[in-house]
Each structure stands twice: as C-alpha cells, then as structure tokens.
Amino acid sequence: MDERIREHAELLVDWSARIEAGDDVVLSVEEDAHDLAVAVAEVLGERGANVVTTYDSAEVSRAYLRAHDDDFEAPDHELALYENADSVLALRGGRNTYATADVDGETRQAVSRAKQPVREARLATDWVLTVHPTRSLAQQAGMSYEAYRDFVYDAVLRDWESLAEEMQELKEILDAASEVRLVSAGTDLTMSIEGRTAVNSAASVAYDSHNLPSGEVFTAPADTEGTVHFDVPMTIEGSRVRDVTLEFADGEVVDYAADVGEAAIADVLDTDEGARRLGELGIGMNRGIDRVTENILFDEKMGDTVHLALGRAYEACLPEGESGNDSAVHVDLITDVSEDSRIEVDGEVVQRNGRFRWEDGFESA
Amino acid sequence: MDERIREHAELLVDWSARIEAGDDVVLSVEEDAHDLAVAVAEVLGERGANVVTTYDSAEVSRAYLRAHDDDFEAPDHELALYENADSVLALRGGRNTYATADVDGETRQAVSRAKQPVREARLATDWVLTVHPTRSLAQQAGMSYEAYRDFVYDAVLRDWESLAEEMQELKEILDAASEVRLVSAGTDLTMSIEGRTAVNSAASVAYDSHNLPSGEVFTAPADTEGTVHFDVPMTIEGSRVRDVTLEFADGEVVDYAADVGEAAIADVLDTDEGARRLGELGIGMNRGIDRVTENILFDEKMGDTVHLALGRAYEACLPEGESGNDSAVHVDLITDVSEDSRIEVDGEVVQRNGRFRWEDGFESA
C-alpha cells in the first residue's frame, strides 16, 4: 500500500475528525475508495473508536432512485444511525463521475427534500469529507492516474497549522465587515455579511471545517445584488456545467444562463425557496491546489478563486439563534479572480488579481 | 447484466424477505457483491422500501480488528441502525475467503462477545443471507467462475413452494418426536428434541428461514451424548477444518480432534459456555446442491448430509418462553450420510443411506 494512504488516514482521523476512543464513527465508502477505507479502519482500530461502514455506491443509488416512484421518506433506521453517530468520515472515490447522470432532476429533488432530516443529523456530527484518488477522478481531471495521485496527496498532506495562521488574517477582516463586493469579467456582485462569522477552514472540525483537503475562508452572505459569472467548469449532480451567469435582485436569483448544463442549474434553482439564494461566499487560499480538476472539493479551495453556493448556509457562519439561508441543496460555483478582478470589503480592496493586500505584489489601485 | 442476477434479486426481496413499501431495509454488501446490490436496490426502489447500504468488507474488518486493543463494545449507532430496521439483506461475495485468517482467535471472541446485542438486534429483523457468485468463491469451490455461477443460480432459482411441501413431511415427524439418533462412520450420537419445533427452511422469513438458497429442516437439540465425525471440509472464521470429531457427555463437548484446523475448533469452543453445546441439528434436503463448495450456506443444504452447529440455537425451534442454548457463536459442521448411515427418530429409521422412508429405494433394514 502507498504509504501516503496511511498518512492520509491518520490526518483524517486525528487532525480532521479529532476522533477519540469510544467515538461512534460512520465510515462512508464510495465504490473505489476501498484502499483508503482499509487504512482508515486500521487507524480507527488503533484509536479504539467504533465503526459502521456504509457503501456509498453511485450505481446502487442510481438503480434505487430510477426504480422508485419518488414518494421518498427519511427512514427511521437511517436517522437513528446518524443521530447516534459522533463522526461521519465520507471517503469519495467512485468509478464514474457520471454514474447518476440519468437520474432525473425531479427525483433528485424529491429525495433531497425527503431526506433533509437525515442530512441534518449527519451534519450535526463531526463529519469530514475527503477524496481517495481513483482512475475515474483522474479522468475527470484530465490527468494520468499517477499524476492525479500526486496532485491529491500534495493537496491533502499539508502543514495545516501553518495554513490556518495564514487564513486567520482574512477571517478577521471579514468578521469585522458589513459588505463584500466582487468585481471581475462579467461580474459585479454585492453581498451583505453583517453579523456573520467567517470560517477559517483548516480541514479540521476543530475549525468548523469539514473537508480534507481544505484551505478556504468562507462565510454566509445575504441580500445579494448584481451579476456573477462563473468561468470555472463544474459537474453538478452528474451534469457538466460551464460559464454560468446568475443575476440577483433582493437576494434572489432573477435570471440565469449557462453555456453548458443550463437544465442542471434550473433543477437546482427549482428545488426550494432557499435554492435561489446564496448560502456561501468562499475564498480559495490553498495554493497547493494549482489546477482545476472538476472536483468541487479541490477546485473551490484553489488559490486565486472565489466560489458562491446556492442553497444552504453553514451554521458556523451564523449568529447564535439566527437561521441563515435554508435549503435541501448546497451547490457551489466558482470564478477565477487571478486577473482583472478585485474583492472589496467595506469599500476597501482586500485582493486584486489574486494578490491579497498583505502579500508581495499587491497593487492598491 | 446476467438476467439471473435480476431474478435472484426479486426472489430475495419478494419470496425470501417479503419486503413491502415503507420497510426499512439494511442492505449489507461484501466487496464483490456489487452487481447483486445494484439489482437488489432496483427491486427495493420498485417496492418503495427504504434502504441503508453497508459495506461488509473483510479487508476493512481485518484492518480494524488487528489494530484494536480487543476492548470492544456494542456501539449505540450500530445498535440503533438494526433496532430500527425491518429487514437485513446480507449479500455475501468477497474477494478472498481467507481475508481475515490472520485475525487471532481471542480478538474474534472478544468482538463476538461485545457485539452480541448488535447481533441480537439484527437477528430480530426479517434478515436473509444470500450469496453472489464471485471468483473467490468459485476458487474456494474448486470451480471455474462460469461453472460456479451456474451452480449458484441452480441452487437459488428454484421452485421454493414445491420444495417446502417436500420438507413439511420431515418437519412433522421431528415435531412429534423426543429423540434423534445419528449413526454413520465414526458417529453414534443421540440428541433430545423433546418439545422442540423443527423449521421447514424454505428460504423465506415466512417459514422462519433466513438463507437463500435454503432447503433443510432443522431443530434445536439438547442433552447430546456420544461421538460425531464431520467428514465434509469446512472453513470456519477464515480457517480450514477437516475431519473434526466431537465427543459429547451430558450435552457438552468433552473431547475434540481435527485432522486440519484443530486450533480453530478450540477457539470456537472457548468462546463461552454455550459454544460447547449444540444449537442446531439440520438435515440437508436441497438436491439441487450436488457438490461440496466449502461454503456453509450451500454445503449444509446439500441433500444426503446432516449438520450440527455448536453455539446459539434459533428461537423459532424453541417453545414460547423457553430459552435454548445461548452463545455468541453459531458454527456449523457437516457430515455425509449418503452411505452406511441412518437417522433414527424415536427408534425408527427415517433415513438410511440418504434415502428417506417415503422415497423410492428406502431400505427399512
């Protein structure tokens, strides 16, 4: 076994999920994430944690969803599993990123709505999502398997404490601010972040950060106005989308277009009320991730990018007792801010053309 | 996909588990049972059942068990999953039948003891265990993959209603009887079955039968006396055993020997008090299974064989309120009764050399 798989497993269990003896862990394994599952199980055994391993197969889901009449429910046994779990470790790594591409949008929405209580129970745990490099993901990235493995481990096996310090600076600026404006080619968007708390996403539940790798600072915007163009290609629920434009008024999407995958965007927007509002503004700061690989877990963390999510806001960004944007979905879209771009916070430029104001090469005007 | 996989899935869901709309099902999938899992998921979707899919990987279990300090517990989340499930469909079909052969006996016993509440919760559901033909199982059977698939589907895709009628005759004889005596080469064993109820195991929970394929009549013996020799080779918890002899006095094993795998037998017997007593007497009646394949699910159902299990008795065989033999284990051993053998029930020969007394060719003396 590649020694990096073992290092990945230790980082996931210890740094990311902070698992201790006696913790009840759900280990969710996609079809080709077997080798990482074996390594994680070994570390969980060493730590004295308990484990239930679930099989998160896209082909099994597809068969079930296509055969069902769409009158879904949140089953007691699934709820009970997650309500009694301390942590959920989700190991992504399938065999075909389009395995569920022929499940129709209405079915996706129906199951997503019905299973909201299950999702909430899962999100209430110390959950962490990570990726095991598979041939399918290498293909999606347009890379050889060998090069893709190097890419994944370069992004994952980092000095997270050091990156956390770097990101703290931006978090403090956002926490103190009222408004963010994003300006780029085809984009001029204003969002309120008044009273919201930014998350220093350092790939650990101790930082309210649930992705490994991570490396972003994100918050929950409101009252969005203007237009945004997303030029980074994406795959949403099995469908490819590219060059998406969203127009906002009074916080809601009032118009949309996409060069590729407009129907997938329409399906997302139709899920529920909250799906038409933003739940997240994220600023990618992981410069270890140096290319788009059509995988949101990596792409949204890439340095010199900004992402916005339609749908559900993360609780960690909201003041105690305040509920942010609620939805059955959370769909990220990404835009490149490395050129002809700026991020303004309360009228001051914090980043221009990908350089932050505390970095060498920042141009103040 | 082989059309027989779809037929297998329908038989499992409809005939065996009797699953209905709204049922909460746990679908347990071994490493190479993926294709059957997809087919079962499709049928569950059509029936409107709910499903949680677990990954029952021997390699994941091995890594966890070897790393753990043996102070296991029955975790809340796993208990909650099974306590809230209506059915468990376990799809066997791994990649290596010896994948856990280097997990030591003490660890197996420790986890088996600690997880007894989980096992009880699972056994309280309408559970069914079946087998998807894999290359590993073909290898264990000494067969080509293609021939092994034919073997499995010949055993599984049967007219179960008709076989159930055939088995009813033996069940009625056993239900009315007090004592069974088994005589064969190296075997002369007497068991009480007073007050016990035999199960007509017709591969359906409607018959208290939990294996697909099935085709046996079994009951819960007590007060075993004498010696039994098991000449059918077996694999117990990853270890091969062959030519096991057990000697019973006052219902308990007082001596044992095996040409191969004696340590595995010793581990089983040491699990707990109940592991030294018999929990099951089963008479194989599935003549569709015509060869030993070193897989208990098939071997014990084979016509012209008898099997006895050390450990836990099945509740279905016991009078209301009476607890039978209790143990963390249930380990079957098989003996061929096709030659120089007889089964006596209350002193009358019911089977001789594999022929039942209601069959052509039965010799009354």
Closest chain B C-alpha to A43 CA, distance in angstroms: 7
Best A1, A24, A52, A126 member to test B by mutation, with max B CBs in 10 Å, is: A52
Best B77, B83, B87, B125 member to test A by mutation, with max A CBs in 10 Å, is: B77
- Integer angstrom CA distances of residue A128 from A112, A207, A208, A256, B252: 20, 12, 10, 32, 50
Which chain A residues contact residue B29 at CB under 8 A? 55, 57, 60
Q: Which residue has the higher pLDDT, A238 or A328?
A: A328
> What are the pLDDT digits (tens) for B23-69?
999 999 999 999 999 999 999 999 999 999 999 999 999 999 999 99
Cα A323–A111–A314 angle (5° rounding)? 25
Does the distance separating the beta carbons of A78 and B24 come in below 8 Å?
Answer: yes
Candidates A22, A53, A80; nearest CB to B80: A80
Does the distance separating the beta carbons of B45 and A65 come in below 8 Å?
Answer: yes
pLDDT for the residue A87: 98
B289 neighbors B307 (Cβ within 8 angstroms)? no
Report how far residue B213's alpha carbon sits from residue A23's, in angstroms, rounded to the nearest whole number.
38
Strand partners, A308: A281, A333
End-to-end C-alpha distance for chain A, whole angstroms: 51
Could you tell me if A89 lies within 8 Å of chain B, comparing CB atoms?
no
**Beta-carbon neighbour count of residue A159 at 10 Å?**
9
B2 neighbors B148 (Cβ within 8 angstroms)? no
Report how far residue B346's alpha carbon sits from residue B181's, in angstroms, rounded to the nearest whole number.
8
Candidates A57, A68, A80; nearest CB to B53: A57
> What are the pLDDT digits (tens) for A112-122?
999 999 999 99
> What are the pLDDT digits (tens) for A180-207?
999 999 999 999 999 999 999 999 999 9
Could you tell me if A45 lies within 8 Å of chain B, comparing CB atoms?
yes
What domains can be seen in chain A, in order of their start residue? 3-156 (3.40.1830.10), 160-356 (no CATH)
Does the distance separating the beta carbons of B56 and A53 come in below 8 Å?
Answer: yes
Closest chain B C-alpha to A114 CA, distance in angstroms: 12
- Integer angstrom CA distances of residue B13 from A63, A82, A281, B24, B32: 15, 25, 46, 12, 20
| Contacts by residues A248-251 (CB-CB < 8 Å, ≥ 24 positions apart) | A248/A189, A248/A224, A248/A278, A249/A225, A250/A223, A250/A225, A251/A222, A251/A223, A251/A224, A251/A225, A251/A277, A251/A278
Does the distance separating the beta carbons of A56 and B48 come in below 8 Å?
Answer: no
Closest chain A C-alpha to B174 CA, distance in angstroms: 38
**Closest Cα to residue B306, out of B278, B265, B326?**
B278
> What are the pLDDT digits (tens) for A299-337?
999 999 999 999 999 988 999 888 889 999 999 999 999
A348, pLDDT greater than 90: yes
pLDDT for the residue A24: 98
Report how far residue A186's alpha carbon sits from residue A265's, in angstroms, rounded to the nearest whole number.
18
What φ, ψ does residue B192 adopt, rounded to 5°? -85, 135
Confidence bin at A4 (pLDDT 50/70/90): very high
* Mean pLDDT, rounded, of chain A: 95
The helix-helix angle for B76-83 and A76-83 (nearest 10°) equals 170
Could you tell me if A37 lies within 8 Å of chain B, comparing CB atoms?
yes
Report how far residue A138's alpha carbon sits from residue A135's, in angstroms, rounded to the nearest whole number.
5
In the block, residue with structure tokens 């969803």: A65
pLDDT for the residue B162: 87
Could you tell me if A53 lies within 8 Å of chain B, comparing CB atoms?
yes
Report how far residue B221's alpha carbon sits from residue B61's, in angstroms, rounded to the nearest whole number.
33
Report how far residue A37's alpha carbon sits from residue A53's, in angstroms, rounded to the nearest whole number.
9
A237, pLDDT greater than 80: no
Could you tell me if A9 lies within 8 Å of chain B, comparing CB atoms?
no
> What are the pLDDT digits (tens) for A120-168?
999 999 999 999 999 999 998 999 999 999 999 999 999 898 889 889 9
Does the distance separating the beta carbons of A41 and B67 come in below 8 Å?
Answer: yes
Stretches where chain B sits below pLDDT 50 are: none
Candidates B41, B71, B82; nearest CB to A63: B41
A147 neighbors A106 (Cβ within 8 angstroms)? no
Closest chain A C-alpha to B214 CA, distance in angstroms: 26
| Contacts by residues A134-139 (CB-CB < 8 Å, ≥ 24 positions apart) | A134/A32, A134/A33, A134/A93, A134/A94, A134/A95, A135/A32, A135/A95, A136/A32, A136/A93, A136/A94, A136/A95, A136/A96, A136/A97, A137/A93, A137/A94, A137/A97, A137/A293, A137/A295, A139/A97
Candidates A42, A50, A75; nearest CB to B50: A75
Could you tell me if A51 lies within 8 Å of chain B, comparing CB atoms?
yes
Best B55, B76, B102 member to test A by mutation, with max A CBs in 10 Å, is: B55
Query: Which runs of consecutive H residues, i.e. helices, occur in A183-289?
Result: 262-269
Does the distance separating the beta carbons of A31 and B66 come in below 8 Å?
Answer: no
A11 neighbors A212 (Cβ within 8 angstroms)? yes
Report how far residue B200's alpha carbon sits from residue B223's, in angstroms, rounded to the nearest whole number.
23
Burial class (CB in 10 A: 0-12, 13-18, 19+), B318: middle
pLDDT for the residue A236: 87
A365, pLDDT greater than 90: no
**pLDDT (average), residues A33-57:** 98
Nearest CA in chain B to A71: B48
Confidence bin at A294 (pLDDT 50/70/90): confident
Could you tell me if A104 lies within 8 Å of chain B, comparing CB atoms?
no
